[in-house]
């Protein structure tokens, strides 16, 4: 989920809500400022779709600016999440390779004339010296 909204021109207000809704929101880690902002956004869009008679070009332009700013924030968030996922994928692959190197293999040891267990890394350092048991 995106980080909390960074406001361009913040306006602080007190809002009353149903106590049970507040408890549920708190339990679900829903921040009231996010809920109010998203609710306002939804209701403004509803008025636009309904072609509310109070709409005028100034209101529409202001809302358009907010929407574009939110879109840029979302695009930035998505880009960062993609970069984060790429980094995590690389880390997983590196960890898999390290795990393979630490995997034990059974090889024939010429000196002791018996099979012994060594790490794959040891085997890969000098594969000619060992014969992996099939």
CA–CA gap between residue 69 and residue 60 (Å, rounded): 14
CA–CA gap between residue 94 and residue 63 (Å, rounded): 46
The 10 Å Cβ neighbour count of residue 60 is: 12
Q: Is the pTM of this model over 0.85?
A: no
| DSSP line for the chain | -PPPPPPSS---------HHHHHHHHHTT--HHHHHHHHHHHHHHHHHHTT-TT--HHHHHHHHHHHHHHHHHHHHHHHHHHHHHHHHHHHHHHHHHHHHHHSEEEEEETTTTEEEEEEHHHHHH-GGG-EE--
pLDDT tens digits for range 8-64: 888 888 889 999 999 999 999 999 988 999 999 999 999 999 999 999 999 999 999
pLDDT tens digits for range 99-115: 776 888 898 887 788 88
Q: CA-CA-CA-CA torsion for 128, 129, 133, 134, nearest 10 degrees?
A: 10
Whether 106 and 116 have beta carbons less than 8 Å apart is answered as: yes
- 22's CB contacts (< 8 A; 6+ apart) are 32
């Amino acid at each position: 989920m995106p980080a909390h909204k960074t406001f361009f021109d913040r306006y602080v207000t007190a809002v009353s809500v149903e106590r049970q809704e507040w408890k549920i929101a708190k339990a679900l880690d829903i921040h009231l400022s996010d809920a109010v902002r998203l609710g306002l956004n939804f209701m403004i869009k509803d008025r636009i779709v309904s072609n509310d008679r109070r709409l005028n070009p100034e209101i529409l332009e202001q809302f358009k600016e907010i929407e574009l700013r939110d879109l840029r924030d979302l695009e930035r968030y998505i880009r960062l999440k993609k970069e984060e996922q790429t980094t995590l994928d690389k880390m997983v692959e590196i960890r898999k390779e390290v795990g393979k190197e630490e995997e034990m293999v059974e090889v024939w040891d010429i000196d002791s004339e018996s099979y012994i267990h060594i790490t794959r890394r040891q085997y890969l350092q000098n594969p000619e010296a060992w014969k992996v048991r099939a």
